[in-house]
């Protein structure tokens, strides 16, 4: 093939590639603009958020985190951190077994048992609190 024909072929293929990129880029831009006005999915209904707290502390396992237990048993996370005498900062994502290995390596199961006792005490105190009707 002659160099001029080869050069024309390369330029033509590059032009077709650029044309395709522009066409699909404009289609993507148009689709993005259409979805910009749509809000994110709806939050869960209030009834699902107002569920009863779990009350059986024997269901607590070592893989659970303080945040998960706090939500499930509706217990303040600071109460659990204070009972364990550990700082909350940097420990939010650690499981109970990881906390035990880091802070109490010579006492296996200490964190799990302390968390169970603290949550049970909190649930007992919460249910024993008098309720007044106005």
Spans of all domains in the chain: 1-36, 52-128
Backbone angles phi, psi at 124, to 5 degrees: -65, -45
pLDDT band at 129, cuts 50/70/90?
Answer: low
Helix 110-128 × helix 96-103 angle, to 10°: 120
Does residue 49 have a pLDDT over 60? no
Paired tokens of 64: 């659970």
CA angle 105, 100, 95 (to 5 degrees): 150
Give me the percent of the chain exceeding a pLDDT of 90: 45
- Non-local (6+) Cβ contacts of 80 within 8 A are 66, 69, 70, 115, 118, 119
pLDDT tens, position by position, 85-124: 999 898 888 999 999 999 999 989 899 999 999 999 998 8
Question: For all residues of the chain together, what is the average pLDDT?
Answer: 85
Hey, which of 24-28, 32-36, 55-59 has the most confident mean pLDDT?
Answer: 24-28
């Amino acid at each position: 093939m002659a160099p001029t024909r080869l050069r024309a072929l390369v330029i033509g293929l590059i032009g077709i590639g650029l044309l395709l990129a522009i066409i699909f880029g404009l289609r993507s831009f148009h689709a993005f603009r259409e979805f910009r006005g749509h809000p994110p999915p709806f939050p869960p209904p209030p009834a699902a958020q107002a569920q009863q707290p779990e009350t059986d502390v024997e269901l607590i396992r070592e893989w659970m985190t303080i945040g998960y237990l706090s939500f499930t048993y509706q217990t303040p996370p600071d109460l659990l951190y204070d009972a364990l005498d550990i700082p909350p900062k940097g420990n939010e994502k650690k499981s109970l077994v990881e906390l035990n290995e880091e802070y109490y390596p010579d006492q296996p199961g200490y964190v799990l048992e302390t968390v169970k006792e603290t949550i049970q005490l909190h649930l007992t105190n919460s249910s024993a609190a008098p309720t007044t009707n106005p």
